[in-house]
C-alpha cells in the first residue's frame, strides 16, 4: 500500500528558528526594502524560496565529514576524496575544484570563448550567458518548441532543439562554435528535464562536427529522477547509473555544488581533454587557487564528496521531486497558473496570467513577489521583465517573453507543514488578486537591476 503523505526521509537534529512576523510588520519591512525582496533581511522572512542554491541542509554525515577536513595547501586527503567522488560520478579524469559554478564557467568559457565564437544551449543560465558574453562571444538559446506550451504534459520540455543545432552549425561553421551546453535540468526554462535521448542526439552531432559538448550539471540528480520516471529504457537503472551515462556522453561538465551536491558553497569543472584541462588549470591557479583545492577549503571538499552520494539516494530523490510537485499541483488546483509539468527544484507561477489586469510595464511578477511576502512572509524571485526587460531608444520597456515568479525550494529544509502553509497563502493571493496594483521602478542600476532596484506600488 502506498500512502499519500510525503514524509521527509530524515529526522531533525538541529533546528534554526524562524522569526515570525505580522502582516503590518511585513508591510513596513517591505517598504524599507523598497519593495525588493533581495533587500530584505533573512530574519524578516518566514519561508525563503528565493533560491535552492547554497540553501540546503547538510546531513549528520556531511557535518561529520567536515571535521575530517585536511586543510593542507597541496595534496590534502580531502582533495583525494573529492577527486575520487567527482571522478566516480562523471568519469572525467581532469577535475578542477572551484568556489562555485560561475567560477568554472569563467575559467572554461573565457578560455574557449572570445569574439566571433558562438555557444549554443537549451537555455544558458544568466551567469553562463554573462561569462560567455563577457568574453566577447555570443550565447544562443535553442530550446525545443514544446517548451513554450505550459499546458501540455510533454515529458522533456528541457530538451535542446537538435534541428536548430544542425542549422546553426551549417550557418556559422563548426569551427566557430565554441561549445554546446546542455543545462540539466533546464533552470531558466522552468526546471524542466532533458531526456537521455536528447543528450545522446546532441552528443552525436557534436562528435560528428568535433564541437565541445558540456553539461551544466548542477541539478543532474533531479534530472536523472525524471529520466527514470519518464523514459522507458531507463526505468530499471539506478539514478546514479543514469547520471553516469549522461556524463559519459559529454566532453566536460560544470557543476555548482550548491544545488545537487547538497552543500552551501562549492563547485567544479571536469574535463576529458588534457590539453584543454592544462590551459584551464593555469586560469584556476591564477584566479581560484592551487589545483588540489582551487576555490575550496578541505572541509568543503569533504562535504561535497558525501553530498554527491546522498543526493542519489532513492528515498531522498523521491521525496525531493514529489514534494516540489505537491506544492505545484496543490496551487494549480486552486487556479494558480504555473509552468506544467512541475520541474525539479522550483514551481514557476505565471504572474501575467494571474494578474492579467496588471500591464507588463507595471511588472505583474514583482507585484506577486510583494504580495507573497506581505501576506505570508514568503520570499520568492521575479523572473520576468524586472530581471530581463530592456529599454528601446525612446525609453519604453521591451518586456521579457514571460512574467514568472519562481518558488525555489531549498533541499531538506522545509517540511510538509511549511509547504501546506504556502498553499494556504495562495488562497489569500487568489482571493485578493483583483485589488493588487502594479509596481513601478524608482531607481535602477545599469546591469542586473533586479538585485538592487528600488520600487513603488502604482497608485
Ligand atoms: N548553472 C545553473 C543552471 C544555475 O542554476 C546556476 C545558479 C549556475 C549555473 C551558477 O552557479 O551560483 O554556483 O555560481 N543558479 C542559482 C539559482 C543562483 O538561484 O538558480 P553558482
CA of 28 to the centre of ligand 1 (A): 31
Q: What is the pLDDT of residue 151?
A: 84
Q: What is the pLDDT of residue 348?
A: 97
Instruction: Indicate if 237 and 97 belong to the same structural domain.
Output: yes
The CA–CA distances, whole Å, from 447 to 126, 130, 317, 452 equal 12, 11, 36, 10
CA of 27 to the centre of ligand 1 (A): 30
CA of 183 to the centre of ligand 1 (A): 10
Residue whose CA lies nearest to ligand 1 atom number 19 = 51
Residue 263's CATH number: 3.40.640.10
The CA–CA distances, whole Å, from 164 to 75, 122, 159, 261, 425 equal 45, 10, 12, 32, 42
Structural domain includes residue 41: yes
- Of 259, 347, 382, 408, the residue with max ligand 1 atoms within 8 A of its CB, to mutate for a pocket test, comes to 259
- Ligand 1 pocket: which residues have CB below 6 Å? 51, 53, 100-102, 125, 127-128, 183, 187, 216, 218, 256, 258, 267
Q: Domain boundary at 287, 310, 333, which?
A: 310
H or E element that contains 429: helix 416-431
Q: Domain boundary at 276, 310, 344, which?
A: 310
Structural domain includes residue 18: no
Q: What is the pLDDT of residue 446?
A: 82
Structural domain includes residue 239: yes
Main-chain phi, psi angles of 363, to 5 degrees: 50, 70
Residue 37's CATH number: 3.90.1150.10
Residue whose CA lies nearest to ligand 1 atom number 2 = 125
Q: Is the peptide bond before 341 cis (omega within 30 degrees of 0)?
A: yes
Q: Is the peptide bond before 269 cis (omega within 30 degrees of 0)?
A: no
- What is the mean pLDDT, run by run of 10 residues, along the chain of 459 residues? 89 96 98 97 98 98 98 98 98 98 98 98 94 96 92 94 98 98 92 97 98 98 98 97 98 98 98 98 98 97 98 97 97 96 96 97 98 98 93 93 95 97 98 96 89 94
Which ligand 1 atom minimizes the distance to the CA of 103?
14
Q: What is the pLDDT of residue 181?
A: 98
Residue with cell 521525496: 319
CA of 437 to the centre of ligand 1 (A): 31
CA of 158 to the centre of ligand 1 (A): 16
Per-residue DSSP letters for 198-239? HHHHHHHHHHHHT--EEEE-TTHHHHHHHHHHH-GGGTTS-H
Which ligand 1 atom minimizes the distance to the CA of 345?
20
Q: How many separate domains does the chain show? A: 2
Instruction: Indicate if 136 and 280 belong to the same structural domain.
Output: yes
Residue whose CA lies nearest to ligand 1 atom number 21 = 101
The CA–CA distances, whole Å, from 174 to 105, 214, 277, 437 equal 21, 15, 21, 50
CA of 17 to the centre of ligand 1 (A): 27
Instruction: Indicate if 393 and 268 belong to the same structural domain.
Output: no
Instruction: Indicate if 285 and 404 belong to the same structural domain.
Output: no
CA of 190 to the centre of ligand 1 (A): 13
Q: Domain boundary at 245, 277, 310, which?
A: 310
End-to-end CA distance of the chain: 55
Structural domain includes residue 260: yes
Q: Structural domain of residue 248, as residue ranges? A: 60-310
Q: Which long-range contacts (CB under 8 A, 24 or more apart) does 22-31 make?
A: 23/374, 23/375, 26/373, 26/374, 26/377, 27/374, 30/370, 30/373, 30/374
Instruction: Indicate if 97 and 239 belong to the same structural domain.
Output: yes
The CA–CA distances, whole Å, from 126 to 122, 129, 207, 241 equal 13, 5, 27, 29
H or E element that contains 83: helix 77-90
Which ligand 1 atom minimizes the distance to the CA of 100?
13
Structural domain includes residue 15: no
Structural domain includes residue 411: yes
Cβ contact 182:216 at 8 Å: yes
CA of 125 to the centre of ligand 1 (A): 7
Instruction: Indicate if 241 and 385 belong to the same structural domain.
Output: no
Instruction: Indicate if 189 and 89 belong to the same structural domain.
Output: yes
Instruction: Indicate if 317 and 289 belong to the same structural domain.
Output: no
Cross-strand pairs, 253: 215, 270
Q: Round to whole Å and give the CA distance between 267 and 107.
A: 12
Instruction: Indicate if 426 and 397 belong to the same structural domain.
Output: yes
Which ligand 1 atom minimizes the distance to the CA of 183?
3
Is 171 in a helix, a strand, or coil? helix
- Of 217, 258, 263, 383, the residue with max ligand 1 atoms within 8 A of its CB, to mutate for a pocket test, comes to 258
CA of 107 to the centre of ligand 1 (A): 15
Structural domain includes residue 391: yes
H or E element that contains 443: strand 439-443
CA of 458 to the centre of ligand 1 (A): 32
Which ligand 1 atom minimizes the distance to the CA of 127?
10
Residue whose CA lies nearest to ligand 1 atom number 4 = 125
Nearest to 327 by CA among 380, 269, 287: 380
Q: What is the pLDDT of residue 188?
A: 84
Cβ contact 289:71 at 8 Å: no
Instruction: Indicate if 84 and 146 belong to the same structural domain.
Output: yes
Cross-strand pairs, 381: 406
Structural domain includes residue 444: yes
Residue whose CA lies nearest to ligand 1 atom number 8 = 101
Instruction: Indicate if 68 and 117 belong to the same structural domain.
Output: yes
The CA–CA distances, whole Å, from 263 to 75, 83, 100, 140, 258 equal 22, 16, 11, 30, 5
Instruction: Indicate if 207 and 141 belong to the same structural domain.
Output: yes
Residue whose CA lies nearest to ligand 1 atom number 12 = 101
Residue whose CA lies nearest to ligand 1 atom number 11 = 101
Q: What is the pLDDT of residue 447?
A: 77
Amino acid at each position: 500500500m502506498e500512502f499519500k503523505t510525503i514524509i521527509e526521509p530524515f529526522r531533525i537534529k538541529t533546528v534554526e528558528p524562524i522569526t515570525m512576523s505580522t502582516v503590518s510588520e511585513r508591510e513596513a519591512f517591505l517598504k524599507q526594502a523598497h519593495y525588493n525582496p533581495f533587500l530584505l533581511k533573512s530574519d524578516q522572512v518566514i519561508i525563503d524560496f528565493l533560491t535552492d542554491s547554497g540553501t540546503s541542509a547538510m546531513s549528520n554525515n556531511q557535518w561529520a565529514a567536515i571535521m575530517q577536513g585536511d586543510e593542507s595547501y597541496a595534496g590534502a586527503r580531502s582533495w583525494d576524496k573529492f577527486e575520487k567522488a567527482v571522478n566516480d560520478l562523471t568519469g572525467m579524469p581532469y577535475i578542477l575544484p572551484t568556489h562555485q559554478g560561475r567560477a568554472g564557467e569563467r575559467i572554461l568559457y573565457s578560455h574557449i570563448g572570445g569574439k566571433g565564437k558562438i555557444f549554443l544551449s537549451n537555455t544558458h543560465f544568466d551567469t553562463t550567458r554573462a561569462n560567455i558574453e563577457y568574453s566577447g562571444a555570443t550565447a544562443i538559446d535553442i530550446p525545443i518548441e514544446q517548451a513554450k506550451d505550459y499546458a501540455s504534459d510533454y515529458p522533456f520540455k528541457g530538451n535542446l532543439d537538435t534541428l536548430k543545432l544542425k542549422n546553426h552549425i551549417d550557418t556559422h561553421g563548426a569551427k566557430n562554435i565554441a561549445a554546446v551546453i546542455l543545462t540539466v535540468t533546464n533552470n531558466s526554462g522552468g526546471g524542466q528535464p532533458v531526456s537521455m535521448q536528447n543528450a545522446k542526439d546532441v552528443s552525436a552531432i557534436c562528435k560528428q562536427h568535433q564541437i565541445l559538448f558540456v553539461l551544466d550539471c548542477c541539478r543532474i540528480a533531479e534530472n536523472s529522477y525524471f529520466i527514470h520516471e519518464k523514459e522507458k529504457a531507463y526505468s530499471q537503472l539506478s539514478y546514479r547509473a543514469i547520471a553516469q551515462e549522461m556524463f559519459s556522453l559529454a566532453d566536460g561538465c560544470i557543476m555548482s555544488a550548491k544545488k545537487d551536491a547538497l552543500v552551501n558553497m562549492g563547485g567544479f569543472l571536469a574535463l576529458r581533454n588534457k590539453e584543454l584541462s592544462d590551459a584551464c588549470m593555469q586560469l584556476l591557479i591564477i584566479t581560484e587557487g592551487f589545483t588540489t583545492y582551487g576555490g575550496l577549503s578541505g572541509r568543503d571538499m569533504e562535504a561535497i564528496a558525501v553530498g554527491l552520494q546522498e543526493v542519489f539516494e532513492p528515498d531522498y530523490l523521491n521525496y525531493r521531486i514529489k514534494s516540489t510537485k505537491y506544492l505545484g499541483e496543490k496551487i494549480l488546483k486552486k487556479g494558480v497558473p504555473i509552468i506544467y509539468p512541475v520541474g525539479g527544484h522550483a514551481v514557476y507561477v505565471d504572474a501575467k496570467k494571474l494578474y492579467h489586469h496588471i500591464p507588463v510595464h507595471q511588472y505583474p511578477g514583482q507585484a506577486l513577489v510583494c504580495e507573497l511576502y506581505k501576506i505570508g512572509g514568503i520570499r520568492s524571485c521575479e523572473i520576468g521583465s524586472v530581471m530581463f526587460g530592456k529599454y528601446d531608444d525612446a525609453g519604453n520597456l521591451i518586456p521579457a517573453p514571460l512574467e514568472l515568479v519562481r518558488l525555489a525550494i531549498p533541499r531538506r529544509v522545509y517540511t510538509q507543514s511549511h509547504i501546506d502553509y504556502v498553499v494556504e497563502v495562495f488562497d489569500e493571493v487568489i482571493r485578493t488578486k483583483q485589488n493588487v496594483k502594479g509596481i513601478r521602478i524608482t531607481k535602477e542600476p545599469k546591469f542586473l537591476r533586479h538585485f538592487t532596484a528600488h520600487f513603488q506600488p502604482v497608485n
